Structure 1
């Protein structure tokens, strides 16, 4: 294997290991929308998606305001909304619940829009993964949804944790890399419960220059 070098003589790592692209399948186990001025969702039978997200949803919009997840911007800076859709998995919610000593955690409590079944380790699907829904809608994964204390406080409240601030602090640790994904709408349409999903995972590699 030939080693490439940078112009100033700094050696690059050998060619990285490439994990080939692959196709998976899944189904919609639940649909949820935040129709009030609050992030908590409620269960619905279908969701209508436009280029700016779910119609009437709390997170709808082509842009959003930056927060604690974007420390490189002043808080409140207008940026592109890559967090139009929140996606979770039943097995990961169950693991978070066990980590918090709760009987269960509902998707609504954490503001999820889609509950997807059939994808092992859903939270580890890489950025760029495409979700093709049988009805014609396409979503594109932006990345993992980092757990925060705001959702943790709601979980503590709904789950009956007496000290809500303790629950709020516990949630980010209990849900690390289990909180699901955020995605944006690449092709608008309607998604219905039990709809089949074709999942296309892109090639993957680790950049080590």
Structure 2
């Protein structure tokens, strides 16, 4: 029996983004296409097979321990970002502002995709969903610069709507307009 099953919807890539340096800001810049390897997005500041442990992993490791990088990509949904913008009472939340590498559409409940789901792009490039990308203060700071008085609401209103983090399973190109096949685990939920 297969451990993954393809679901009956097809997603689409509507934006690709990268940033070579995270120090000035979390914001990324738009590009037509990303090249991905087993190290993540070529040229992006989050690329690498490993990363330093941080506040998200303090229950497992002290800070700055070298660990596997399951956060090579941040992927957001246009439908969910529109919901977040409505809740924040602003015209839009741009994917660049929240550090997304990819903006996708037509995948219902995108942020709730189970861990180990696969997103397979037109070229065959494939990423594995690790976890929900929990909202935090860094995108809130960027949104605050664009919409003063509104950014601080982001961490609360974007829960279960910010998208997912993922890592590469198969190298290749991802371009605006690509279709996405979605495979989810067949394993039952843990009781």
Give the structure-1-normalised TM-score. 0.83
Corresponding residue for residue 40 of structure 2: 53
Distance 1:80 1:126, change over 3 A: same
Equivalent residue in structure 1 for 2:28, among 34, 37, 41: 41
Corresponding residue for residue 167 of structure 1: 151
Q: CA deviation at 1:204?
A: 4.5
Contact 1:22–1:202 at 8 Å: present in 2 too?
no
Corresponding residue for residue 186 of structure 2: 203
1:117 pairs with 2:100: no
Q: Which runs of 5+ in 2 are unaligned?
A: none
Give the structure-2-normalised TM-score. 0.91
Higher strand share: 2
Query: In terms of Rg, which structure is larger?
Result: 1
Root mean square deviation of aligned Cα: 1.5
SS class of match (1:43): strand
Contact 1:45–1:193 at 8 Å: present in 2 too?
yes
Quick check: 195-204 or 89-98, which moved more? 195-204
Equivalent residue in structure 1 for 2:51, among 64, 77, 81: 64
Q: How many residues align?
A: 184
Contact 2:20–2:45 at 8 Å: present in 1 too?
yes
Q: Which runs of 5+ in 1 are unaligned?
A: 1-19
